Structure 1
Amino acid sequence: MGASQVPTDSYGKEEQRWVASIPGGADAASEGVRQRLGRVARQYERVLATVAAEHDLSVGDWEALSVLARSDEGSVTPGRMGEVLGLTSGTVSERIERLVRGGLVEPVEGADGRRRPVRLTAAGAAAWGAATRRRVETEAELLEEALDPGDVATLNTLLGRLLARLEAEFGPAPRHDMTRGRPGGAGSAYGLGRGEVRRAGG
C-alpha cells in the first residue's frame, strides 16, 4: 500500500482485523460501507451535541423543537411527537414540560378539546433557527475540508441510490434526527471533543 493509500480513518486502520473477526467472513467492501456510514452518522451526532450545548439546549430538546418547526400544521400533539421520535409518553411529557418552562413552546387548544397540541413560541423558533443554522454551517465546513464539490455531488448521488434501495426494502427512513443513548440523547453519549474517536459497535 502506497503512502497516499494509508488509511487515516478509524475503520480503515482496523479494517482487516474487523473483517477477520466476523464469523464466516464478510465482503470487505460491503462491510466498509456499513461501518463508515455508521461512524459518520455517529460523528454527525457529535456535531448535534456540540452545537446544542453552544445554544443551551439538550439534543433531545432540539429534536422536539425540530419536529414542531417542520410540522405542516404548526403544532403537534404529544402523542404524535412520541411516534416521530420513538419516545414513550412519559419522556415526551417531561420534555414538553421543560420546553414550556423555558418559554420555547406553548400549548394550544386541540380540535377535540381534549388533546393539547404544542407549538413553538417566538423564542423557541429563534432558538431552533439559530442552532440549526450553526449546525448546517458546521457540517458544511467539515464537508468542504474533506471533499471537493465534485466529490460531494457524486457522494450525494450514490447515497441517494443506496437510500432508495434500503427504503424500498424497509420503508421510508425517519425524517428527523433520533439520536442514540436515550434518554439523554447524543449529549450524554457523545459530548466529546472534535478530535476524540469513539470506536463503533458491531
Structure 2
Amino acid sequence: MRDEVDGLVEAWGKERPDLDVQPLSVLSRISRLARHLDRARRAVFAAHALEPWEFDVLTALRRAGDPYELSPGRLLRATLVTSGTMTNRIDRLAAAGLVERHPDPADKRGVLVRLTGAGLTRVDAAFADLLHREHAILDVMSGTDRETLAGLLRTLLVPFDSGD
C-alpha cells in the first residue's frame, strides 16, 4: 500500500540525499490527515449549522455537566482563546439562542454562560454525528491498532501540551 507521502519522501530523498527526510514519512502524514479530518469535522458541523469555534464552546459547556454552565474565564481556558475573542463568541452564541448569560451567585460581578435547550439539542446531535463519522474513519484499523496509534500520538503530543 502506497500513499502520496511515499512519493514525496522518495522525491526528496533523490533530490536531497544529504538530508535525512525520514521525519516526512510521519509528520507529513499527520499533517495531511489533520487536513482531511478538519474537512470531515467541518462538514459534520455545517450539517448542524455550526462553525468549529461554536462547537468548541458548546462542547466545553456540555462537558461541564448539568446545568451546563461555565464562567467566561473557564470557557476561554477550555478553548484557548483570548478574553475579547471569547466575549465575541458568547455574544454570537447568545444572539443565536444557543447560550444564555446568568449572574454568578458566587460572584456578584461575575456571569455564567449556560447552554440553552436549543444549544444542548444542537451540540448533542452534532457530537453524535461527529462520533459516527470518526468511527467510520477509524474502521480501517483494528481496535488494537487504534490503541497503539493513540499511544504513539500521545507520546508526540504531550511535550506540546505540557509547554516544553
CA contact (8 A) 2:100 2:113 kept: yes
1:155 aligns to 2:145 (yes or no): yes
Contact 1:11 1:35 in 2 (8 A): yes
Partner of 1:115: 110
1:171 shift after superposition: 4.4
Q: Which residue of 2 aligns with 1:62?
A: 55
Whole-angstrom CA distance in 2 between matches of 1:158 and 1:43:
21
SS at match of 1:57: coil
SS at match of 2:111: coil
CA drift at 1:62: 1.0
In structure 2, what is the Cα distance between the partners aligned to 1:38 and 1:152? 22
Contact 2:138–2:146 (CA under 8 A) maintained in structure 1: no
Superposition map of 1:175-190 within 5 A: none
CA RMSD of aligned residues (A): 2.6
> What letter matches 2:4 in structure 1?
S
State the AA in 2 paired with 1:53. Answer: A
Count of residues in correspondence between the two structures = 161
Is residue 48 of structure 1 aligned with residue 48 of structure 2? no
- CA change 1:157–1:86 in 2 (3 A) is same
* Paired residues for 1:1-202 under 5 Å: 5=1, 7=2, 9-18=3-12, 25-26=19-20, 28=22, 30-72=23-65, 74-110=68-104, 111-144=106-139, 147=140, 151-166=141-156, 169-171=159-161
Deviations 1:114-163, CA, capped at 9 Å, x for gaps: 1212011111010001111111112222332xx1xxx3323322223324
Contact 2:48–2:122 (CA under 8 A) maintained in structure 1: yes
- C-alpha distance in 1 between matches for 2:152 and 2:122: 34
- Quote the offset at 1:19 in angstroms: 5.3
Change (3 A) 1:27 1:59: same
1:22, CA displacement in angstroms? 7.2
Tell me the amino acid that sits aligned with residue 133 of structure 1: A
CA distance in 1, matches of 2:10, 2:109: 58
Say if 1:11 and 1:32, in contact at 8 Å, map to a contact too.
yes
Q: Letter of the aligned partner of 1:45 in structure 2? A: D
Question: Percent identity at matched positions?
Answer: 31
Q: Which has the higher strand share?
A: 2
**Matched residues in 2 for 1:158 and 1:132: separation?**
24
* Whole-angstrom distance in 2 between the partners of 1:134 and 1:88: 29
TM-score (norm 2): 0.83
